[in-house]
Copies of this chain bind each other. A is one copy, B any other.
């Protein structure tokens, strides 16, 4: 919340009730709500709130580094015919995703904190970074 106010001010962005409430709502829950869920909750405090304001605000905060998304953002669904247990390298610049295999990763033990949440049946590691093309020779 501190961080939110500070970053908004730093970037010369106005601190509206909508923005503060939307961030407050998201920061106060641990269930990774959708835009619509945030909308419904905040609407109880700001009845005139519009759904598109929630989207605009969330994307703004993503640009500021205050918020992130679960899974790949804004992309169409992508499919995979590789059914073997595998892991992914994902380029944060161009979205490229490639499989790789690792017996070590396959056998990772779930920490206690995770076992408390449920019964783990599969480990899926995602390595995020820049692919050869994006970190490569040319301009970024």
Contact = CB atoms under 8 A, between A and B. Distances in A.
Interface of chain A, main secondary structure? mixed
Nearest to A131: B118
B89 A67 contact: no
A128 B72 CA distance: 17
Nearest to A34: B76
Interface residues of A, number: 68
Contacts of A66: 81, 83
A113 B99 CA distance: 9
Contact of A101 (B34, B35, B73, B113): B113
Interface of A: 23, 26-27, 30-36, 38, 58, 65-83, 87-89, 91-92, 96-102, 104-105, 108, 110-111, 113-114, 117-132, 134-135
